[in-house]
Structure 1
């Protein structure tokens, strides 16, 4: 089979498939607020404990990237996506028949989240294996699917919940997840993907190019990706043979700038998913109707599409420093969070915040491929992106539960909540009174 060449031919079909994967992951990932409301109504448990299901799902969706890197190295991007789709579908189907919150946390937060992590991280990595000159633009286009999923499919999931109940709509989510198998079959192997497997199994200093080339990869294809190798001034510059996953992760983490990027992603998403999870409830507490709370998530999805596309277009040339752009977008998002108490009491102010949240929170992801290639090179691309997504997931896992220790999920007052003991919070929240 002829391998896909970067920036040409089937690479654009792979981009379309990655976009489809991101649409579904955007619906299931950043639409966790809808599932959170369903679990609150269905199990009548404490908000902090219930939030663990959504935060664990979002965390494993990102942390599952570590397994994606392993499967991609051993098999292919196609195998990782199809396996993740089947795991997600099985997990959602199990949630239909579960009657305890603990098992929902396990299956929805753990099993479904791990499957989503395989498909989500692979959808990012496969762009790096199919594009060179238009890498940042392609990443922005593919990841704009996240916003499209939040904008279009999240309201559909809400309607399905109202139609089929708090358990029956998990059947709908299982069917949506199964569609990821279709997109995964379109991930034909590329020259650059084959290149990473070759450099992982042969010593580059002891063998000639003729010995390295597989039957379907010529020397010109390898020469084309030589400029995407490790920089000589980084700790990885002397490494020649990534022998195992642990070996690769250890050496990637010796790169201090890369570690700082991972720390940046951790702290950013520690706060971002607190807002995604609680924004619909915050709107209801301040007097908005329940459906208006879900509209805020759709607004953030619309602005997320614009943000990711603009990020890809801005970094399509070589005139913009991607690290500086990452710092700028996250800084603006931080300022909007700090100022939220000043304008967030009205619904118009909440809509404005949703625009900021979507516009700047997702802009970092189109930059990951470019940053990873700049810091560690093509042979370590899958490992680097996997570690970055693990940092994102760790922040997501820690953020919402930590916030739940200090803020009542029903009336947004600081603990100890004066109403929770009498169960009035639930009544006030359901009726939509602030």
Structure 2
């Protein structure tokens, strides 16, 4: 008995030593997370969201500029703004393909290129049909590439502080709306439609610089190795199956299906609300100036709301799913009550404050919630597909709003329809709690990535210190 116990103790000690070596290896392998160049990548992500956020919410100014320039019908001209906004979400899978095939750095850089080409071409477009293609589709693809990649790259560079980092990055959307919205309006008034689009091209050209700052982290390189390894294992069906395997893996996950439906209904409702909000405020007897003030107020509050959500999520006191669905639920309830308080200006102010604080908060935890159901190597695909479903909702929402009003309905009814859709989104996100346990066996957490096949990084894969210093020196020379 004594000999057996000693042998067991030796086995336990060996197992403990092996575990410690494994944890030490994992720590060393991903030592660049949460520190060092990761903060430069966070700055680049914030800057990308800052510029894309302005582009998202400047779609109204873009619409009015095209109306003044071409003097075509409102319905025809509105296609430019609608496609510009919809492509940002619908193009999520395209961004995922670029991230999986190349890197987040490539996707963000291409985003800036598409923005510049699209806006410059719009400045010199001779017809509205050409402008719809250049501004709606080309610039819209740029928004799609950058928005998804700027979110995914934060997940590849942070672990312990991931939610806080995402909160900081996504607050760039609100900051861009608050800071640049008046600037682009002045540019349009002073330089006219053509000069306005040239200035937009110059602003978004900075996304190229931000993209070049997003060098792949060791975790991102490791996930690329994992995807290539999975593709090699299925080489017999490589032609088609290997390319669609990530999407099948995500689409067959019950928890992710609930998140897809959640994003579809949430975007359907919120885009419907944002479309009618300025007009609804005016129909209640308040001036257009007050309406624009309230929209700007929601922008600056969105900055603080996303940042605070990141701080709260990083404390690990509240479950990520609770934050995700809870903020949606608050927006849905506030939107449902809003039409009954809209006769008073205070009612508009209260609703705008709640909308600004909680509307974008769910996007802060979308990566953490997705990682409850998919591996880190599939997170780009998962987020891209969620944005795609959200884009479908973004297209259907304004259409539904038009149908409701044209059929003799009121703006109050339109707001209530939007509230019901938002609450449905919150309900689907809450259902994911029951799917988590069933899918727990497929989730590959960050500490499990040590089991992946190890690849000796080549000189082109890892950013060496001299290259970082050279890059920073070039930036300072350019300035």
State whether TM-score is above 0.5. Answer: yes
Q: Which moved more, 1:353-362 or 1:288-297?
A: 288-297
- Shift in Å at residue 104 of structure 1? 2.7
Which residues of 2 match residues 264-303 of structure 1 at below 5 A?
A: 264-303=262-301
Q: Which residue of 2 aligns with 1:15?
A: 42
For residues 35-75 of structure 1, the C-alpha deviation after alignment (integer angstroms, 9 at most, x for no partner) is 23334444455544444332321111122221111111111
Unpaired segments of 5 or more residues in structure 2?
A: 1-28, 234-239, 413-479
- TM-score under structure 1 length normalisation: 0.80
For residues 234-278 of structure 1, the C-alpha deviation after alignment (integer angstroms, 9 at most, x for no partner) is xxxxxxxx9744211111010011110111111111121223233
- Shift in Å at residue 101 of structure 1? 3.3
Which residues of 2 match residues 280-359 of structure 1 at below 5 A?
A: 280-359=278-357
Q: Which moved more, 1:33-42 or 1:325-334?
A: 33-42
Q: Which residue of 2 aligns with 1:116?
A: 143
The 3 A distance-change label for structure 1 pair 39 and 71 is same
Q: Which residue of 2 aligns with 1:133?
A: 160
Contact conserved, 1:51 with 1:400, CA < 8 A, in 2? Answer: no
Q: Which residue of 2 aligns with 1:192?
A: 219
Of residues 154, 161, 166, the one that matches 2:181 is 154
Q: Which residue of 1 aligns with 2:24?
A: none
Contact conserved, 2:404 with 2:410, CA < 8 A, in 1? Answer: no
Contact conserved, 1:129 with 1:193, CA < 8 A, in 2? Answer: yes
Contact conserved, 1:64 with 1:114, CA < 8 A, in 2? Answer: yes
CA distance in 2, matches of 1:204, 1:42: 50
Q: Which moved more, 1:31-40 or 1:122-131?
A: 31-40
- TM-score under structure 2 length normalisation: 0.73
For residues 175-200 of structure 1, the C-alpha deviation after alignment (integer angstroms, 9 at most, x for no partner) is 11111011111101101100111101
The 3 A distance-change label for structure 1 pair 341 and 14 is same
Q: Which residue of 2 aligns with 1:58?
A: 85
Are 2:281 and 1:254 aligned? no
CA distance in 1, matches of 2:214, 2:340: 47
Contact conserved, 1:95 with 1:170, CA < 8 A, in 2? Answer: yes
3-state SS in 1 of match to 2:405 = coil
Q: Which residue of 1 aligns with 2:439?
A: none
Contact conserved, 1:72 with 1:382, CA < 8 A, in 2? Answer: yes
For residues 106-161 of structure 1, the C-alpha deviation after alignment (integer angstroms, 9 at most, x for no partner) is 22221111111111111000001001111111111110111101111112111212
Contact conserved, 1:60 with 1:393, CA < 8 A, in 2? Answer: yes
Contact conserved, 1:3 with 1:189, CA < 8 A, in 2? Answer: no
CA distance in 2, matches of 1:260, 1:329: 17
CA distance in 1, matches of 2:150, 2:197: 24
Unpaired segments of 5 or more residues in structure 1?
A: 207-241, 415-434
CA distance in 2, matches of 1:173, 1:307: 27
Q: Which residue of 2 aligns with 1:360?
A: 358
Which structure features the higher share of helix residues?
A: 2
The 3 A distance-change label for structure 1 pair 187 and 360 is same
CA distance in 2, matches of 1:176, 1:95: 15
The 3 A distance-change label for structure 1 pair 203 and 257 is closer
**What is the alpha-carbon root mean square deviation over aligned residues?**
2.7
CA distance in 2, matches of 1:404, 1:104: 23
The 3 A distance-change label for structure 1 pair 314 and 243 is farther
- Shift in Å at residue 173 of structure 1? 1.0
- Shift in Å at residue 280 of structure 1? 2.9
The 3 A distance-change label for structure 1 pair 362 and 4 is same
Contact conserved, 2:331 with 2:358, CA < 8 A, in 1? Answer: yes
CA distance in 2, matches of 1:345, 1:49: 33
Contact conserved, 2:87 with 2:144, CA < 8 A, in 1? Answer: yes
Contact conserved, 1:4 with 1:11, CA < 8 A, in 2? Answer: no
Which residues of 2 match residues 224-235 of structure 1 at below 5 A?
A: none
3-state SS in 2 of match to 1:320 = coil
CA distance in 2, matches of 1:160, 1:184: 26
Q: Which moved more, 1:158-167 or 1:190-199?
A: 158-167
CA distance in 2, matches of 1:64, 1:273: 17
Contact conserved, 1:282 with 1:412, CA < 8 A, in 2? Answer: no
Q: Which residue of 2 aligns with 1:376?
A: 374
Which residues of 2 match residues 198-209 of structure 1 at below 5 A?
A: 198-203=225-230
